[in-house]
Structure 1
Amino acid sequence: MKTSHRLSIGLRWTVPLLVGALALSACSDGGTESSASTPGEIVVVTPDQASNVVRDYGYTAGTDNQDVTNNMHAQLIRKPYVEEDGSDALVQDYYNFEPYLAESYDVSPDQLVYTFSLKQGVMSEHGNELDADDVLWSFERKFATPGGGMAGYYKPMLTDPATQIKKVDNYTVSFTVQKAGYGLTLLANLAENIGSIYDSNYLIENATPEDPYAVAWGAEDMMRGNFGYGAYMLESVTPGQEIVMTANPNFVLGEPEVKRMIRRVVADPATRANMVTRGDADVALALRSSDQATLESNDAVTVPTTTSNQYLLFSMNTTTAPFDDVRVRQAMAYAIPYDQIMSDVFFGRAYKYNHVLDDKAPNWDGSDLPQYDSDPERAKSLLAEAGLTDGLAFTLSVNNQLPAAQDTAIQIQSFAAEAGIDVTIAEVPAAQLNADTLAGKVQASLSIGASVTMTPPYSLQLLTQPGGGSNIALWNDPEFLAMVDQGLDAGDALSPEAGVFWNQAELRMTEQAPYIFIARVRPSVALEAGIGGFVQRTDFRIDYSNLTLGS
């Protein structure tokens, strides 16, 4: 069983950063010329355009928004990029963390205090040096602007930054948590985009009494968003057409090989795929699985194949009939055509995965988990036990802008009929679907989501916290919640002692089936064959600073 390589208690971590290690496999000998005319320049085609990079203003959905924002910012630490057996690209190590803006960090023997020593001489675009005040002010801003939702992401690890985050000296800060079990998830969150550190001097210069953190000021103009320490900066924005980004010459890991990227809006996924094939684009985002399957045989294109944390999820409203009965929920788990969905909807770009935790986590044990397979007779038997001898009828709601969910719903509708289950499909706008689901107005829904932070407690709690914005099954199970609390009280979240409770909680969640995890969905991108260094990240954004360019 895999063991943890995280920092030993009381020791100091000074692991050097790794940049751009592994080139993507390609069928051609050397790839093709980049579609951009200038060396070091690439063209990225995206289905939409970023509209809000100010941070802490509020979540803005869209492929481009997150891809752009993530590349403008850097964090104290990050998850290392590592090779994965059976994959042709790099992935992230979910449970180890290496310094990024920090030079090193220490963990106290009781695992309650995390002290970060910052790299000195790290400069922002505006000529301001990174220091401890930037860290403190960044977290003050995150928690003081509720529109960004940061307090929810960090709860319960951080609830009061003023008392939990301290400046030790100009280049040293400490974070204190109440339980050792919180430490792993704190580190994981600090390594995500929600842990980004800002140039506080630049933002304070543009703050006002009415807008003390320059959030509204930044939202007025995207070009004011260059206040991170990331690998790229905005050069220009042409609304509805393209965004141009240039490499940050002061980037803490060194100036990237990709010096400039032109991000063009191309709404049609088939056109995006064809542009990479023709050499009119270097990177295509948010492709359909069917288009990726076609591209896999093209020597001019690389379609990365790795494992993934992105799940295809069937959710049921557990507060009202018929899905308040666990037997009915389990019946649905047997009334799904898993293999057919993998082949006919995702064309092999997804794989069956029926539980919530990462099976590569230290001390994970799924040997007792129920195996839900496609079995309409078993579904009928469970419905009969629940008193539904005449079958079941319900409405399955799906996002009307998510073709994969719509196609999956049709597959379920057809197969479930064999078990006497009558499924009516309702296609609903995303915002309405989310609001109606949390209001208890939806019987069942299909979605594609992920736990970006992959620690066991975070993954278990994301969809299950009573009253939480991601608990779309409205599930409230005291026995499950008690198991999670016991895990958090057991100390190091990756310890064998904590692992016992994580495994028990996952078993409880899988048996109670408020959610049916159908599959994990692979990366939805394609790249020109000469480009290497792609990483499948848990946030699904490309780290362009890690890319290498062919001749």
Structure 2
Amino acid sequence: MLANRPGENMKKGVSKTVWTIALIIVVVVIAAVALMIQKPVKPAQPAQNVTAPSPTALDTLIIAMDTSDAVSLDPARAYEFASCLVANQLYDKLVDFELPDLVHVKPEVAESWEVSPDNRIYTFHIRKGIKFASGNELNADAVVYSLQRVIKLKQTAAWVLTQFVSKPEQIEKVDNYTVRITLDRPVAPSFFLATLTFTTGAIVDPKVVEAHAKGGDMGSDWMTDHSAGSGPYILESWERESQIVLVANPNYWKGAPPLKKIIIKHVPEPTDQLLLIKKGDVDIAWDLQADQIAQLAGTSGIVIEKVEGLRLIYIGMNVAVKPLDNVKVRQAIRYSIDYDSIVSNILKGMAIKWQTIIPKGLLGADPNTPYYKNITMAKKLLAEAGYPNGFEIELTTPPTYPQIDIATKIQSDLAEAGIKVKIVQMTQSEMYEKYRKQGLQLVLAGWGTDYPDPDDNAEAFGNYRVKQLAWRNSWYDDYAANLTEKAALEPDLNKRDAMYKNLSEYILENGPFVILYQQVHPYVLRDWVKGFVPDPTFFYLDFSKIYKKVGS
């Protein structure tokens, strides 16, 4: 009979199923509540930007930068940004600077020194107990060999030393721990000592170098991608267009550095560097652009270190071209430019307004910035100079960012004063070749300091006799040239400082330059990188003082 009542059987089946499902739900809810009472649910955690490095990575520093300019890691040849940066980790010098101070040299291999009354003879006393990575002793023989080697090899960077010491025999061993250097001419001690801090002043291991010499090259071919120093690190490998790897020197005389390995990855594109630093795959990104820096500002786990570099960007005004020979015309150009807009809107803060020839951070730096955009003053000066309706002039610039943007802004600014600027775009190589032959009218260019002494800038901007920037702009001013040469000889640091400030003020008013700004270099770090002191040059950074630590 039951088989004859399918509808009733279906209702009973559905009812039973519903009750079963309800019972399961009740059980699940009760279990969930019990679980919550036993262990409260944690609030959702915000997503982390990167995963902190594992403890095994804490002894390794990974840097992303463009190393394509590196030619050789031999300190007698190294003259490029990446080359000098790496060489400074591999070698010690007689004296050095300790960041952030770029005014007072500090003892390093030389624990002390004396200078003769005529400022020509320097006697250095070598610190005892220093060993090269090989275990060989660093003594007077090594110092003499290293500095004579620079002169004998005659590589590009040799001029830093040979401008004072033209012959190898002027570098002599007095005894096992004393070296005497006799200069061609007397100069301010602070000047000569500053140049010894450059890469060409590095001390190499003579025994190791000579063991790899061939064809009279004093080991230079082998030294291209090997090291023979006493610095905190040893060159383990250099894979071109890939990476440079340094390992800690077990014989380092100042004690083992905290980081056992430095890996400098060749990452030429800033966009790739940005991705790597965001992910935490690298510890430091070297070459990020202003927009990328702005993008990272305030990002958790990221630290942005900025430092005023030693590079100045300026407009050169060739006084052989009328009306640039008139000082009032040159002043009118200075009063036509909106410096603040260039720094803020084009460079987005990656520069500081700076109008004198010696960059901030060096002896003799003058922070005076009297010029600002004042079209009324510019027109008044032009009228007094005999050009009430302005004039036409060419401005040469490389066709790259930010130069072309700056040139366009200057063109617009000068137009307000009645000066019609025609922008001429040239590749840098072509532009500088023509510039060196006094062949340009206005030029947008830059000058980077080779070593942190004011003479490097003063000679270029003030002394036409050396045929650098003053000469290229046909500015033959004997007052500036004589003051430049005199300041290079002044042994008193305070008097020398005052002389360079005097020179800077004179060129600021009378010279053929519009100093636009001083570049700011940003370093982007993960916050676990500690002990990093930003470097305004390109070779004083000391990796041996850096360590990594997760958390505060």
Report TM bin, short chain. 0.7 to 0.9
Distance 2:378 2:336 in 1: 6
Q: Is the 8 A contact 2:449 2:457 kept in 1?
A: yes
Equivalent in 85, 88, 91 of residue 70 of structure 1: 88
Would the aligned equivalents of 1:34 and 1:282 in 2 still touch at CA under 8 Å?
Answer: no
Equivalent in the alignment of 2:154: 146
Q: Go from structure 1 to structure 2 and tell me whether the alpha carbon gap of 1:514 and 1:250 turns closer, same or farther (over 3 Å shift).
A: farther
Confirm whether residue 257 of structure 1 aligns to residue 258 of structure 2.
Answer: yes
* TM-score normalised by structure 2 residue count: 0.81
Rounded Cα–Cα distance in structure 1 between residues aligned with 2:307 and 2:138: 35
Structure (1 or 2) with the greater helix fraction: 2
- Relative contact order: is structure 1 or structure 2 higher (C-alpha 8 Å, sep ≥ 6)? 1
- 8 A contact 1:457–1:493 mirrored in 2: no
1:495 to 2:494 alignment: yes
- Structure 1: runs of 5+ lacking an equivalent: 1-28, 82-90
Aligned mate of 2:165, from 149, 158, 161? 158
Per mean C-alpha deviation after superposition, the further-off stretch among 502-511 and 377-386 is 377-386
- Cα distance in structure 2, aligned partners of 1:486 and 1:408: 36
Give the match for residue 40 of structure 2.
none
Pick from 37, 49, 63: which aligns with 1:44?
63
CA contact under 8 A between 2:302 and 2:524: conserved in structure 1?
yes
Relative distance call for 1:380 and 1:51 in structure 2 (3 A) is same
Write out aligned runs for 1:53-452 (5 A).
Answer: 53-57=73-77, 59-60=79-80, 63-81=81-99, 91=100, 93-108=101-116, 111-151=119-159, 153-154=160-161, 157-163=164-170, 165-177=171-183, 181-208=187-214, 210-215=215-220, 217-218=221-222, 222-223=224-225, 225-357=226-358, 371-400=370-399, 403-452=401-450
- Aligned with 1:33 (options 46, 49, 52): 52
Displacement after TM superposition at 1:275 (Å)? 1.8
Residue identity over aligned pairs, in percent, reads: 26
SS at match of 2:155: helix
Aligned to 2:37: none
Distance in 1 of aligned mates of 2:58 and 2:374: 56
Name 1:483's counterpart in structure 2: 483
* Alpha-carbon distance, 1:439 to partner: 1.6
Q: CA offset at residue 187 of structure 1? A: 1.0
Q: 1:147 to 1:441 in 2, by over 3 A?
A: farther
- Mapping of 1:499-510 within 5 angstroms? 499-510=497-508
CA distance in 2, matches of 1:393, 1:321: 10
User: What TM-score results when the alignment is normalised by the length of structure 1?
Assistant: 0.81
Cα deviations by residue, 1:94-114 (Å, 9 ceiling, x for unpaired) = 221222222333345665443
CA contact (8 A) 1:334 1:372 kept: yes
Listed one character per residue, the Cα deviations across residues 4-56 of structure 1 (whole Å, up to 9, x for unaligned) are xxxxxxxxxxxxxxxxxxxxxxxxx9x97348963311221113433322343
Residue segments in structure 2 that go unaligned for 5+ positions in a row: 1-47
Q: CA deviation at 1:263?
A: 1.9
Which string of whole-angstrom CA distances, capped at 9 and with x for unpartnered residues, describes residues 397-424 of structure 1?
33445x2333322322222221222333
1:339, distance to aligned residue in structure 2 (A): 0.7
Give the Cα–Cα distance (whole angstroms) in 1 for the partners of residues 168 and 381 of structure 2: 49
C-alpha deviations, 1:291-339, integer Å up to 9, x for none?
2222221121111134443322222333333433333322222222111
Amino acid at match of 2:391: L
Q: Hey, what's the Cα distance between the residues in 2 that align with 1:526 and 1:477? A: 43
Contact between 2:151 and 2:161, CA under 8 Å: does it hold in 1? Answer: no
Contact preservation (8 Å) 2:75, 2:199: no
How far the C-alpha of 1:449 sits from its partner, in A, is: 3.4
1:58 Cα offset (Å): 6.8
- Pair 1:264–1:446, CA change in 2 (3 A): same
Determine if contact 1:396/1:444 at 8 Å carries over to the other structure.
yes
Residue type of the alignment partner of 1:479: Y
Give me the whole-angstrom Cα distance separating, in 2, the residues matched to 1:429 and 1:34.
Answer: 43
Contact 2:343 2:353 (C-alpha < 8 Å) held by counterparts: yes
Q: Is the Cα–Cα contact under 8 Å of residues 157 and 200 in structure 2 kept in the other structure?
A: no
Aligned to 1:6: none
Give the total of aligned pairs. Answer: 499
Higher Rg of the two aligned structures: 2
| Compared CA separation, residues 180 and 535, structure 1 to 2 (3 A) | farther
Q: CA RMSD, aligned part only?
A: 3.1
Aligned partners of 1:523 and 1:540 also within 8 Å: no
Q: Which of 458, 461, 464 is equivalent to 1:463?
A: 461
Once structures 1 and 2 are overlaid, which stretch shifts more, 341-350 or 305-314? 305-314
Q: 1:524 to 1:322 in 2, by over 3 A?
A: farther
**Aligned-residue offset at 1:535:** 2.1
Secondary structure at the counterpart of residue 521 of structure 2: coil
SS of structure 1 residue aligned to 2:188:
helix
Larger mean Cα displacement after TM superposition, 121-130 or 188-197: 121-130
Classify 1:360/1:266 alpha carbon distance in 2 versus 1 (closer, same or farther; 3 Å).
closer
User: Contact 1:392/1:422 (CA < 8 Å) preserved in 2?
Assistant: yes
